[in-house]
Structure 1
Amino acid sequence: MQQCTEMAGMNAMEKKLAEYKCDTNEAICLKLVRFAEDVDDESTTFHPEYSHQLYGDDEVAFGYKGLQIQLYYSAGNLSTLFKVKYTSKVTETFDCVEPDDVEGKIREIIPAGFCCNTDDFISLLEKEANFKPFGTLLHTYHVHNVEEGGDFTYQIHKVDVSCPGFKEYHERLQTFLMWFIETASFIDVDDDRWDFFLVFEKYNKDGETLFATVGYMTVYNYYVYPDKTRPRVSQMLVLPPFQGEGHGAQLLEAVHRFYCNLPKVQDITAEDPSENYVKLRDYVLVKLCQTLPSFSSDKLSLGFSDDMATEAREKLKINKKHARRVYEILRLRMTDMSDETKARDYRLEVKRRLFAPTKKNQREMTKMMKCLRPEELASHISQMDTALQHEELEKSYQEVLAEYRRVIERLAQA
């Protein structure tokens, strides 16, 4: 009986303690502030996609009810307001139970110089008129926003870390990576092989021209023997209030065009690209390549060629692997898939490319099998099941087809 009473007491306490757990993705409130009234406007708040790098895999903070971690940034210079609010703390109810140090975790990633007082932060907004984009203007474009009912102007700038004030600004900007890139890490900006590309919105307030930070990309220039470089996209982020407006495509295209003008550049790659980045890259590269002579309709019907690979590399700094993918997308766009013969020809060509790595592995496995014991041989033979291979190949083909069709649809909309 005593044991049951103790267990009931434990369960009651666990329930009570559970009330002090908060989802950190919901608790963290981010904001890009243009005007003083934005500070209290909940419609301008957005939340992280991830917080596990600071608060663990379960993305939970213990010890608070009604936890709100405010990280507000001025829209241009990203001057920062940091406040932690809650309705109650676990120490007010339980002795010897310590809450998580939620504030200390944030202080690990935000640079010094932030505000803890709202009035101080609002006073900094008055200085936003002095903020001007860093670096050299590469590209200006306009976006029509149906909801806002107007056209908005954006600029893309190329920046070197030596630009006065940029290093401090970048320290504030890169804190967003922790919330929106799953495996994000900060970079060593003192390495002069880094290039930075920034997107800003240009807008007016009371007759003054102001700028708001929209997103950015970092690119590292690797050495390629004997005298070339290979720019590799490391990080790319469009801030949530601006996502879905085409800024990522504008940025990636501007970056490609920038490097295309540098004769020392071999080709442009990306470091561990996400699925979303691959979709974006497909769209941008197809858009760029569709005007090249070697990718004309009459050439596409003859199959992928060395001319395509060479022209894509020399004119657009696109490597052979990506050029082949561009070819397959453009070939699909011009192929009447309702024509059984044309559809079959296209399917077989793509499948041959998809199957090539498997075929290579099989040749290597055949050589290796000569040295295997009977039980090991049986295991490897089972891995080479032909029916299963055909099933997996068809699945891969259908996935690729769906990806390509999304690119074609986007091109049609553009």
Structure 2
Amino acid sequence: MGKKQPSTAKLKKVRRGFSKIDAGVKAKECIKISLVSSKEEVGYADSLRVNPVDLYSFFDGDGKIYGYQGLQITIWVSSISFHAYADITFESKSDRGKGITDLKAALQRIFAETLVENKHEFLQTFSTESNLIRSIISSGEILNYKTSNGNIADSNSHLKAANSDVEVVRMVVGTTAAGHLYSRLIPLVLLLVDGRIPIDVIDPRWELYVLIQKKTDRQDDIQCRLLGFTAIYRFYHYPDSSRLQLSQMLVLPPYQHQGYGGYLLEVINDVAVAEDVYDLTVERPLDYFQHVRSCVDVSRLFDFDPIEGAFIQAVSRLKRDILSKKIHIPRLMPPSSLIDDVRRSLKITKKQFIKCWEVLIYLGLDPIDEYMEDFVSVISNRVENHHILKRVIEVPSDYDQEMSFVTHRSPAGEGGIVQMGLNQTNLEEQLRQRQLVDKRVEGIKLIELAVFG
């Protein structure tokens, strides 16, 4: 007797039951973002590509898109009006166990009202909003970078590829014009600025410093192009001063690595000095920004006369002593009076000045190979003293023992007193500190190369 064959319907049901769950596609793998300055560049394969910091948080937290086969998303962002248009193509879409990602909602979380659904309408913005930047900055204050002697500096001496048509305009964010401009820039902040938390556009303590370039077109009309910007918050400082904190800085991708960021920072330094604020701080500086900042500040310190005597004394001491054979390695810190003078005159914070001070000492050592071991010992000593070891210890308490603790801080220079518990932990800590020292020394060498070639 022949064996009964299963029906076709049952086979399909079985196959469906064992169908593969949708693994999704990473947003960064199917999304391409390009910055374009004219409608002719839209659709052009070699348009300038923008590389986002990450896209994870905009797509269900895991950075994946579900429900699509052969998905490709090309997003064009106008550097004239900062509107965006998304060209979405796919072979098919279906729910394979993870749902279907709402692409429109996800993209609007990034671009909000700047996202234009109609391509024709997007192309029209290149002409209808060609004067957007010029009209917005007309209500702002034009700033000029000044040298230490008070004269207006030639911008060509500070930029690798800029002319005298570069300006910085300061705007109070609480005003309608500045708030409107920043709202257009929020998508770029979300995509390109690490940390990417937009500022409060109705708080008048925020100031927007806009870097623009003026060009004359064929009709002799002046066109303003935005090169970059920075957002500064003005804190109150007792009793009658203020502190400036740089929160966000972005130079648009086409203009990066051309000196514009350094120039913008120079202008902000000049504002801090001219307005006699307490100091200028930076909120969570990334490595590359810190490099640019240190290059700028080291150049300023070289022209600061009060630093010369203390600098020569520190370098002479390092050259004279064989530090690596000493039990107690001096930190070669600048005098407290000099730290205060640098803050008052140049508005450089103590922490930043100490970093620049190490660069100055390095530059004063000649030949550097002869003193390199001792210099590294000085850096290592500072890193070790800066690292504060903490531990949680049990103490008698009338409260819940699981909810009570005391933080113990070891005194500076006595880090060895706190036992880590395991030798492996100590070795890992030593390795981490050594890596910090190596990174710091390499950073100092890069600053020397950037400032003095």
Query: Could you state the TM-score of these two structures normalised by the residue count of structure 1?
Result: 0.81
Out of 53, 61, 68, the position equivalent to 1:64 is: 68
**What is the aligned partner in structure 2 of residue 281 from structure 1?**
293
**What is the aligned partner in structure 1 of residue 222 from structure 2?**
209
Contact 1:53–1:178 (CA<8 Å) still a contact in 2? no
Shift of 1:293: 0.9
Shift of 1:163: 4.4
Shift of 1:234: 1.2
Out of 141, 164, 173, the position equivalent to 1:136 is: 141
Shift of 1:228: 2.3
C-alpha separation in 1, matches of 2:97 and 2:430: 62
- Aligned to 1:277, the other structure's residue is in SS state helix
Shift of 1:315: 1.5
Shift of 1:404: 0.6
**What is the aligned partner in structure 1 of residue 233 from structure 2?**
220
**What is the aligned partner in structure 2 of residue 308 from structure 1?**
338
Task: Write out aligned runs for 1:202-281 (5 A).
Answer: 202-206=214-218, 207-263=220-276, 265-281=277-293
C-alpha separation in 2, matches of 1:268 and 1:73: 33
- What is the letter of the counterpart of residue 82 of structure 1? Y
**What is the aligned partner in structure 2 of residue 355 from structure 1?**
384
Contact 1:50–1:181 (CA<8 Å) still a contact in 2? no
C-alpha change, 1:159 and 1:14, in structure 2 (3 Å) is same
1:173 aligned to 2:185?
Answer: yes
**What is the aligned partner in structure 1 of residue 305 from structure 2?**
293
1:102 aligned to 2:107?
Answer: no
C-alpha separation in 2, matches of 1:95 and 1:349: 60
**What is the aligned partner in structure 1 of residue 318 from structure 2?**
none
Shift of 1:151: 6.0
**What is the aligned partner in structure 2 of residue 122 from structure 1?**
123
Out of 30, 41, 61, the position equivalent to 2:33 is: 30
Contact 2:232–2:246 (CA<8 Å) still a contact in 1? yes
Shift of 1:409: 0.6
Q: How many residues align?
A: 389
**What is the aligned partner in structure 1 of residue 395 from structure 2?**
none
Task: Write out aligned runs for 1:78-97 (5 A).
Answer: 78=82, 80-91=83-94
Contact 1:286–1:329 (CA<8 Å) still a contact in 2? yes
C-alpha change, 1:11 and 1:291, in structure 2 (3 Å) is farther
Contact 1:218–1:234 (CA<8 Å) still a contact in 2? yes
Task: Write out aligned runs for 1:41-60 (5 A).
Answer: 41-47=44-50, 48-60=52-64
C-alpha separation in 2, matches of 1:250 and 1:366: 42
- What is the letter of the counterpart of residue 217 of structure 1? T
1:195 aligned to 2:207?
Answer: yes
- What is the letter of the counterpart of residue 279 of structure 1? H
1:74 aligned to 2:81?
Answer: no
C-alpha separation in 2, matches of 1:6 and 1:331: 77
Shift of 1:328: 0.7
**What is the aligned partner in structure 2 of residue 400 from structure 1?**
440
Structure 1 range deviating more: 239-248 or 389-398: 389-398
Shift of 1:360: 7.8
- What is the letter of the counterpart of residue 184 of structure 2? R
- Aligned to 1:294, the other structure's residue is in SS state helix
**What is the aligned partner in structure 2 of residue 329 from structure 1?**
359
C-alpha separation in 1, matches of 2:197 and 2:280: 21
C-alpha separation in 2, matches of 1:193 and 1:332: 39
Spell out, residue by residue over 1:279-306, the C-alpha distance to the aligned partner (whole angstroms, 9 max, x if none).
Answer: 2221121122111013337734435223
Shift of 1:25: 2.2
- Aligned to 1:347, the other structure's residue is in SS state helix
- Aligned to 2:42, the other structure's residue is in SS state helix
Structure 1 range deviating more: 225-234 or 384-393: 384-393
Query: Could you state the TM-score of these two structures normalised by the residue count of structure 2?
Result: 0.74
Shift of 1:122: 2.1
C-alpha separation in 2, matches of 1:359 and 1:61: 43
C-alpha separation in 2, matches of 1:284 and 1:221: 21
C-alpha separation in 1, matches of 2:15 and 2:257: 51
Spell out, residue by residue over 1:115-139, the C-alpha distance to the aligned partner (whole angstroms, 9 max, x if none).
Answer: 3222222222113443306122224
C-alpha separation in 2, matches of 1:23 and 1:390: 38
C-alpha separation in 1, matches of 2:166 and 2:240: 35
Unaligned ranges ≥5, structure 1: 368-376
Shift of 1:39: 1.1
Spell out, residue by residue over 1:49-79, the C-alpha distance to the aligned partner (whole angstroms, 9 max, x if none).
Answer: 311121245422122234344443332332x
Contact 2:384–2:433 (CA<8 Å) still a contact in 1? yes
Contact 1:29–1:71 (CA<8 Å) still a contact in 2? yes
- What is the letter of the counterpart of residue 314 of structure 1? R
C-alpha separation in 2, matches of 1:204 and 1:188: 34
**What is the aligned partner in structure 2 of residue 158 from structure 1?**
170
Contact 1:152–1:203 (CA<8 Å) still a contact in 2? no
- What is the letter of the counterpart of residue 250 of structure 1? Y
Q: Give the root-mean-square deviation of aligned CA atoms.
A: 3.5
- What is the letter of the counterpart of residue 80 of structure 2? G
Shift of 1:191: 0.9
- Percent sequence identity is 20
